[in-house]
Structure 1
Amino acid sequence: MLLGLNQVTSYYGKTPILKDIGFDLEEGQCLCVLGRNGVGKTTLLRTIMGLTDRMSGGIQISGDDISKAPTYQRAKYGLGYIPQGRQILSNFTVKENILLGTFARSDGLSEVPPLCLSLFPYLAQNLDKRAGLLSGGQQQQLAIARALATNPKILLLDEPTEGIQPNIVHEIGQTLRRLNTEFGITLILTEQHIKVARKLGDAFLMMENGRIVARGPIAEMTDELVERHMTI
């Protein structure tokens, strides 16, 4: 088991947003977390990264308990995070944004990793371009490259295809598939696009009101489940 959550309840202030969440994730899996807006998907990723006000329960990576570890230590354990909205630094260059990720590495590398350049040729050709001048899809590529610069074992992606034109959605999906199958990086992604989830995922969790209400192999994510838990 690479990642395990056990009876995790997570709070903003005094309000519990996640309630008694538990699951295990094996190395090399791609887990898709689905549900309507506001059910706790983003909070789940932020909890794993240590970005909520407090939590109870346990989180383990490769058997080590990280429940009380600060975010920067969790990054050194191998967690990379691509937040919703990307949160790139628009006044920094492409190169400077990617290099921010290297501060979380344990091997001391302080250059743009070759993987980032090979996966994203446009970024490789525009390292000195100000990030705020990139399109939405290019900024998402940059956010993924920045997270990859941390040398992660697990990538947490919050709505990676949100607000991106369809041809770029396809490119990002192909990139994530390569990261998972070719480079062995374990993925957890929240997603609203059912087609993307079915193409990328090995397994799924369906959430409602801060709880897991369905789970299983991606082949068991039926249209009936999607209708019940995702239709407005």
Structure 2
Amino acid sequence: MLLSFDKVSSYYGATQILRNVSFDLEQGQCLCVLGRNGVGKTTIMRTIMGLTDRTTGSITMGDEAIANKPPYQRAGYGIGYVPQGRGILADFTVRENILLGTFARKDSAPEIPELCLRIFPYLRENLDRRAGLLSGGQKQQLAIARALAVGPQVLLLDEPTEGIQPNIVHEIGEILRMLNKELGISLILTEQHIKVARKLGDAFLMVDNGRVVARGPIDEMTDELVERHMTI
């Protein structure tokens, strides 16, 4: 198993958000984490990266226990992260933003991987453009490129299609499919678009009030489950 959670609880201060969450991510799998806003989806991603205040339970990457390791070490195990809101540094150039991802590489190569520029031609043509001037879709491309610069085995994407035009949603979906199915990078993504989840996902995790309430192969994510746990 590539990544495993075993009875993981996670806290911000004294407030518990995740409650005994367990799941496994297999090599080459795309796992979609779904649920209403505010139920703990983002906290799952932040817990994987070590960005909450406290966790209990076991988190392993391959054979390595990582629950007590700082975020930079977790990135060094091959975990790339595209946070909700993208986390782009507006005053940095496109080039500088992507290069930030290389700091976590085990080979410490201070160069932009060719993959990042091959799949996002706009970024290649605008490396010296200030990132704050990019559109929402271009910033998402940049955030994905920065995460890929880590050289990840696992790519975490928190709401990757949020606030993006429909044509760009399709484009990013195709790129994620290529990264997953052709290059073998495992994906965990939180999603509100059910069509995107069903198109990309191999498996799903439905979350409600910090707990896993359903999980399984993506074809077992029924309309009834979606209506029960995702409609307002």
Amino acid at match of 2:176: L
Residue in 2 that maps onto 1:91 = 91
Kindly provide the CA deviation profile for residues 75-114 of structure 1, in whole angstroms up to 9, marking residues without a partner as x.
0001110000001011111000000000000012111100
Q: Aligned ranges for residues 60-79 of structure 1 at < 5 Å?
A: 60-79=60-79
* Cα separation, 2, equivalents of 1:177 and 1:223: 23
Secondary structure in structure 1 of the residue aligned to 2:137: helix
Secondary structure in structure 2 of the residue aligned to 1:160: coil
Residue in 2 that maps onto 1:172 = 172
Residue in 2 that maps onto 1:103 = 103
Secondary structure in structure 2 of the residue aligned to 1:47: helix
Kindly provide the CA deviation profile for residues 129-186 of structure 1, in whole angstroms up to 9, marking residues without a partner as x.
1111110000000000000001010001000000000000000000000000111100
Residue in 2 that maps onto 1:142 = 142
Residue in 1 that maps onto 2:156 = 156
Whether 2:2 is the aligned partner of 1:5: answer: no
Q: Aligned ranges for residues 190-205 of structure 1 at < 5 Å?
A: 190-205=190-205
Q: Aligned ranges for residues 22-41 of structure 1 at < 5 Å?
A: 22-41=22-41
* Cα separation, 1, equivalents of 2:80 and 2:205: 20
Residue in 2 that maps onto 1:14 = 14
* Cα separation, 2, equivalents of 1:14 and 1:128: 43
* Cα separation, 1, equivalents of 2:182 and 2:107: 22
Amino acid at match of 1:23: F
Residue in 1 that maps onto 2:46 = 46
1:15 offset after TM fit, Å? 1.1
Residue in 1 that maps onto 2:126 = 126
* Cα separation, 2, equivalents of 1:208 and 1:35: 6
Residue in 1 that maps onto 2:213 = 213
Kindly provide the CA deviation profile for residues 186-214 of structure 1, in whole angstroms up to 9, marking residues without a partner as x.
00000000000000000000000000000
* Cα separation, 2, equivalents of 1:131 and 1:14: 36
- TM-score when scaled to structure 2? 0.99
- TM-score when scaled to structure 1? 0.99
* Cα separation, 1, equivalents of 2:132 and 2:25: 35
Gaps of 5+ in 2: none
1:48 offset after TM fit, Å? 0.5
Q: Aligned ranges for residues 182-193 of structure 1 at < 5 Å?
A: 182-193=182-193
Secondary structure in structure 2 of the residue aligned to 1:204: strand
* Cα separation, 1, equivalents of 2:123 and 2:24: 35
Amino acid at match of 1:34: L
* Cα separation, 2, equivalents of 1:168 and 1:24: 30
Secondary structure in structure 1 of the residue aligned to 2:72: helix
Amino acid at match of 1:181: K
